[in-house]
Structure 1
């Protein structure tokens, strides 16, 4: 009996143990079921959002900046894709044990990484290295340090380098225009970035593009009016002249008188926009637009034009310049020598200060200043370029005789090289002033008549004689008829006009029988043996103009005879 009793007890204990185990299993199953319901139903949205945060990313879609080209679509500024490395400091800090992978890395080493992420521990985005070549970025990405990611950006590249630097300008590291056309047309050139959703793996690699949330829109292209061939030519000749004459700097501008387009604009000193390390601020200036100077004798054709337009003289009139000097107030104005009684053309041919002084003083004191303002002096050219100077044209209710006299031969007024080129373009275009343009012009704009066509043509003939027999023979171009005027100006310093510092100038156009191309050359402070405009600036004009006429396929011809005057009653002042 006792054995049977023991067996009954053991069977009872086994049944209770089984029930307890089954109860625990049932409770576990219920708990797991409840947890499953909680995760999949009660916390589904929260967990899904957290999952997306750990795997889905919103990334920018880079938009490239518009291309800047010359008039023939040759690239002057283009955007090339580059790789930027960025980091999420929180993720990087959580993986300290892997920083050693970057020890000695030439792009981002472990010490630099530690400094950057520890200083920005509360942030979720910092740049580590920007605008890298893909192979450079791969040196870091290949180490698979958590929290370091690549980003595609664009870097600006300037194929023509320093040849177009002052005109085109440059952008900063964020692809925002800082100088030149890049700055003035930034709103048009700048692209609109987009956004996309991607899936990344544990190493930060994009394994799937989910959706484009916002399309990227590239910037608009801009076609400039300049011809890169002419730009290279003008740059080379100006650089050679500045070097040869030991000058401080210089500028050259080439215009199309029929359309108002700027075909070339160069300056010295220049800089390389692709590598601006160590560049001096002074080298960034587009001197042709920002720097002003007194135009000297290059303004004398406008004095003659004012006298013609006011009816004071005609093309056959004469001026008595004897004895080669004239006293105005307490100043004696001199010519190189006594030219005697000369006609209006000879006033320009011999660059007579006495002649232009007599013409100016014979007019009402407001006529000449007002006339020069009509030509654009003292007014900006209105081209879209940052920092353009309007020059200086004095406004006076009463002009003293000495001020009028000085104005007649180019002192007391300040202009830019571009303004001087615009004034000569009026003469070359038959007396009509056109708005200037740095963009390619499809249709010639409407102009404003400044002087009569007859007087403009007479001035062209007179300026041709300046080169054929006057002060600017070195500006001649074999095979072409050329017109223009030299200028040599004492530089104005804080102590007054310097006796041994000059601006050498030349302004002219060609072909003289049908003017089309206007060129102005300015050489600042030549310190060599020569300093006269006819010796320093005129040869530069000749070389530039010869190249321009050939490149633009102008037919050469033999020069015409010296200007002999146009019919009309003779007069004398």
Structure 2
């Protein structure tokens, strides 16, 4: 072997060549180097060395980088899916390289081809994800998490009329094109892997059930003064002696929804939440998806448990489950299966709520983004939004509340004819305030405005502020 060939082989091999051959003398072949530069492989190939050949592998390149990393996932050796969509669609996406069996002579020359099965190209999968929307959602989410020094965050954007997921972002994230140093926290998809108590984001569904059971009407005035249940004081952040259902949503009144819940059978809200998809798997097939915690089989409820269930305690949901619930509400109570692939034909949903009542609740939710509402920081000029903010105390590892908080803003837009549902979750903010209206609501507004522009949805113009009746 001349000097040039020797240098090339030495550079090609990761360990001294002679030792490599000796250590693997019982094998039919061995890899001298994996993932070598194409230029080096070609140089070695041009030497025509007996017994040395090259195997070319295709490597995935992810143009959106960290913006879609936790959703799309990554591949390992031979492009085998290791996480995300890559893993769940691995059997579909893996290319069939075919089979070629040949007969050689003693000098290594090919005598004949015994078997040849042509390689098959893997079918293309068209995702429902819009790359522009995905980047918008991710970048705004990242800014929100970093600004508030939060532990993590997630945002999910769903088409109300089809159930297609248009964007799903999680932060922290990682570079999928070079992920060897990524941590488990960076590779985690918060939108589906983590579940949290949803706080006040469930209140629209309490109002909906109260209307359905004729416990309340749109003009009912409810006593929202502090009161005790089983020795526990239930009170609101502010003080309002009485509020209508619209006012309860606008001011995010715990006392108001507690009174409504206590007037229902103990299992009423369990059935209502469940009908909108809370506590149920989404069926997307993404790896590691959590179903959260939901009290399906609970038979005995203390009054305090019934009351707190109405403002989002005693259950845990994923951001994706919550987005599905709001998409169902925005679709006039039609429950559509979620899809991460683009639909070629309409999928008919299931009517789970009275469309007139769902529409009435949407109208009430508009008050939250108007002056006086807890979500006013989510407002987008020219558009009517129907949203609900939420804040929940965070459960620690020991099952006790540890002083942290989960902040939410969830809603649909435009309110006059909902097209998309968006949920923003910021987990455990450490800087500034810890309320959904001050942490998650601005992120919601920064996302939904560009989303509506991107989808070419015309402004529907905010109507005059809703004035709710209250005594005192």
TM-score (norm 2): 0.93
- Shift in Å, 1:208: 9.9
- Flag the 1:508–1:106 CA change in 2: closer, same or farther, 3 A: farther
1:163 matched to 2:71? The reply is no
Q: Distance in 1 between matches of 2:455 and 2:94?
A: 33
Task: Give the structure with the larger strand fraction.
Answer: 1
**Greater Rg over alpha carbons, structure:** 1
The residue correspondences of 1:38-117 to structure 2 (distance < 5 A) are: 101-103=5-7, 107-109=11-13, 111-117=15-21
Corresponding position of 1:354? 255
Most deviating of 107-116 and 411-420? 107-116
- Shift in Å, 1:176: 1.1
Most deviating of 489-498 and 521-530? 489-498
- Shift in Å, 1:109: 4.2
Q: Distance in 2 between matches of 1:335 and 1:458?
A: 24
Number of aligned residues: 468
1:370 matched to 2:274? The reply is no
Q: Deviations over 1:314-336 (max 9, x none)?
A: 222221123xx111112111112
Corresponding position of 2:391? 488
Q: Distance in 2 between matches of 1:111 and 1:315?
A: 77
For structure 2, the residue ranges without an aligned partner over 5 or more in a row are: none
For structure 1, the residue ranges without an aligned partner over 5 or more in a row are: 1-96
SS at match of 1:559: coil
Q: Distance in 2 between matches of 1:516 and 1:112?
A: 62
Measured on the aligned residues, the alpha-carbon RMSD in Å equals: 2.4
Corresponding position of 2:45? 141
Q: Distance in 1 between matches of 2:315 and 2:274?
A: 11
Do the aligned partners of 1:102 and 1:110 also contact (CA within 8 Å) in 2? no
Q: Deviations over 1:74-99 (max 9, x none)?
A: xxxxxxxxxxxxxxxxxxxxxxx679
Corresponding position of 2:234? 333
Q: Deviations over 1:334-382 (max 9, x none)?
A: 1123311221111111111000110000101111112111111111111
1:514 equivalent among 399, 413, 417:
417
Corresponding position of 2:23? 119
Do the aligned partners of 1:103 and 1:109 also contact (CA within 8 Å) in 2? no
SS at match of 1:151: coil
The residue correspondences of 1:313-332 to structure 2 (distance < 5 A) are: 313-322=216-225, 325-332=226-233
1:392 matched to 2:290? The reply is no
Do the aligned partners of 1:505 and 1:537 also contact (CA within 8 Å) in 2? yes
1:534 equivalent among 433, 437, 440:
437
- Flag the 1:101–1:348 CA change in 2: closer, same or farther, 3 A: same
Do the aligned partners of 2:221 and 2:242 also contact (CA within 8 Å) in 1? yes
Corresponding position of 1:432? 334
SS at match of 1:125: coil
Do the aligned partners of 1:107 and 1:129 also contact (CA within 8 Å) in 2? no
Q: Distance in 1 between matches of 2:105 and 2:384?
A: 73
Q: Distance in 1 between matches of 2:196 and 2:320?
A: 11
Corresponding position of 2:382? 479
- Flag the 1:137–1:363 CA change in 2: closer, same or farther, 3 A: same
1:177 equivalent among 78, 81, 97:
81
- Flag the 1:130–1:258 CA change in 2: closer, same or farther, 3 A: same
Corresponding position of 2:357? 455
SS at match of 2:55: strand
Q: Distance in 1 between matches of 2:114 and 2:59?
A: 26
1:550 equivalent among 437, 450, 453:
453
Q: Distance in 2 between matches of 1:143 and 1:328?
A: 85
1:382 matched to 2:283? The reply is yes
SS at match of 1:183: helix
SS at match of 2:57: strand
* Structure with more relative contact order (C-alpha pairs < 8 Å, separation 6 or more): 2
- Flag the 1:477–1:468 CA change in 2: closer, same or farther, 3 A: same
Q: Deviations over 1:32-74 (max 9, x none)?
A: xxxxxxxxxxxxxxxxxxxxxxxxxxxxxxxxxxxxxxxxxxx
Corresponding position of 1:304? 207
